[in-house]
Amino acid sequence: MIVERMKIPDVMLLKMRRYPDARGFFSETFSRRVLAEEAGIDCEFVQDNHSFSAMRGVVRGLHFQIPPVAQHKLVRVVRGAILDIAVDLRQRSPTYGQHVAKRIHAADWTQLFIPAGFAHGFCTLEPETEVLYKVSAYYAPAQERGIRWNDPQLGIEWPVAEGAAQLSDKDRALPLLAELPAFFRYGVAPTALEAAS
């Protein structure tokens, strides 16, 4: 596995190995042991989510869960492509309010690790895009939160115009970053699971 730390180092791009032959290829797409040994990511993923977006320009996010059920996420694209976004929500972090943006295409065979304490979202770059992601805590509607995708304070350069973006009504109504309580603090584990550092 190749590990690349992003401009916010707690967010990591992971490229898994593929073993091709005349029939196609084989790849071990998840190994807790390999993640711990090669990337320092040692957490238990308890739920897999699968998202299908029929159109280009679908925006999902920016979502997160608050403690005690904050989630680490391991995101990969199995069909199509996305611009994946992670926003640092950890109070007192040197990168608070900043974001990582990474294009992920199914053909690249990469995954993005997003630790708890970050809001996550993406925009589809191709129609019929499918995204799989593992999370380290079960979905908990009472602890689900988000921030508005087009908050000008975030400065995210989305690949779709505001009027053309396809969003849920729920996501359109999310608050701005400045309206958000301090759910996370830099240097303090937001869950019982340790975030990778």
Annotated active-site positions, please? Answer: 63, 133
Say if CB 2 and CB 111 are below 8 A apart: no
Tokens coding 113: 């690790």
Q: Which of 128, 173, 169 is nearest to 147 (CA)?
A: 173
Q: Exposed, middle or buried, 143 (CB in 10 Å: 0-12/13-18/19+)?
A: middle
Cα(38)–Cα(34) distance, rounded to whole angstroms?
6
Tokens coding 153: 């304070």
Which SS3 state, helix, strand or coil, does residue 103 take?
strand
Q: Which of 82, 85, 171 is nearest to 128 (CA)?
A: 82
CB proximity list for 153: less than 8 A, separation 6 or greater: 97, 176, 177, 178
Say if strands 129-135 and 24-26 run parallel, antiparallel, or are unpaired. unpaired
